[in-house]
Amino acid sequence: MSPTNYLITGASSGIGLELVRQLASIPGNAVYATVRKRGSSATGVDGISNISTTAEGSTITILEGIDVAEDDVGDLLVPQLNGLVIGVVVHNAGSLNGTRDVDSSNLMSEQKLSHITMDRMRSAFEVNTLGPLRVQKALLDSKLMRTTSDSSSGAAPVGKVAIISTGLGSIADNTSGGNYAYRASKAAVNMITKSLSCDLKDKGVSVRAIAPGFVATEFGPGKEKMAGWGGMPVETSCRGIISLLDSMTMENTGEFHCVQKDGPAKAMPW
């Protein structure tokens, strides 16, 4: 992947943190990592401050106080970018429930049909669905997303937008129900992904939804449980995500792919 400016949201832990680490290991990359605060929302551990940039010319800039669930996120993000034009955006910030105020043993059961509340639905949508749209609009409205007006189909994109989705957001692949807030909010952001791919195509921006696969991170019930259930290492998932970023073109804009634990990523049904 050629050196470029990256914006990664939700970078204090898990997939976001590892994406920052791997992208910053590529010479020349400038990685801008947004966090609400440096400590992980799950553990409180500050991992992002300790990432070293050993690759020649690579840099990491941490943008604090960025909460994608708030309508004023653009007012806080844009000034911190200080006029920088972003080449690749990875909308990674997300949540199973839209809050950390749920006991880890109750994360899945509270989203069953018998227990789901409208407050839980709304909180998940604020983070998972509206969050990426808020950030992307702020970048476009402030002309901080790399675009062009004369792109042709099949040409190399001048900008890339990736939205981290999930296989649970696939309507066609839903055969087990449940997880109402998470599934619905991710299915909705998949539609936003598809619409962005249409609206930004003539601006030379390729857009893709990426499911990271089943990953062992602190997301949801926690790293140990996820690993015990067969979750792949976060390093493996992020290598797959970066490979998908690298393969984005104007020809394949608007697609949905899922990283696999063993083997290449596969196309997902919407």
Distance in angstroms (rounded) separating the CA atoms of residues 229 and 45: 24
pLDDT digits (tens, 9 = 90+) for 172-207: 999 999 999 999 999 999 999 999 999 999 999 999
Percent of the chain with pLDDT over 70: 89
pLDDT for 150 equals 45
Average pLDDT over residues 42-71: 92
Structure token digits, residue 251:
């020809």
Q: Flag whether pLDDT at 269 surpasses 90.
A: yes
Which of 6-20, 104-118, 151-165 has the highest mean predicted lDDT (pLDDT)?
A: 6-20
pLDDT for 3 equals 63
Map the chain to HEC letters.
CCCCEEEECCCCCHHHHHHHHHHHCCCCCEEEEECCCCCCCCCCCCCHHHCCCCCCCCEEEEECCCCCCCCCHHHHHHHHHCCCCECEEEECCCCCCCCCCCCHHHCCHHHCCCCCCHHHHHHHHHHHCHHHHHHHHHHHHCCCECCCCCCCCCCCCCEEEEEECCHHHCCCCCCCCCCHHHHHHHHHHHHHHHHHHHHCHHHCEEEEEEECCCECCCCCCCHHHHHHCCCECHHHHHHHHHHHHHCCCCCCCCEEEECCCCCCCEECCC
pLDDT for 153 equals 46
Distance in angstroms (rounded) separating the CA atoms of residues 116 and 109: 9
C-alpha dihedral over 161, 163, 164, 170, to 10 degrees? -140
Predicted structure pTM score: 0.93
Distance in angstroms (rounded) separating the CA atoms of residues 248 and 55: 24
pLDDT for 254 equals 98
Percent of the chain with pLDDT over 90: 78
Q: Taking a C-beta distance cutoff of 8 angstroms, is the pair 6, 23 a contact?
A: yes
pLDDT digits (tens, 9 = 90+) for 91-144: 999 998 887 565 555 667 899 999 999 999 999 999 999 999 999 999 999 999
Query: How deeply is 210 buried, as exposed, middle or buried, from its count of CB atoms within 10 A (0-12, 13-18, 19+)?
Result: buried
- Residues 82-121 as b/e (b if ≥16 CB within 10 A, e otherwise) read eeeebbbbbbbbbbbbbeeebeeeebbebbeeeebeeebb
pLDDT tier for residue 43 given thresholds of 50, 70 and 90: confident
pLDDT digits (tens, 9 = 90+) for 224-253: 676 665 778 999 999 999 999 999 999 999
Q: Taking a C-beta distance cutoff of 8 angstroms, is the pair 115, 109 a contact?
A: yes
Distance in angstroms (rounded) separating the CA atoms of residues 144 and 156: 19
Average pLDDT over residues 134-158: 82
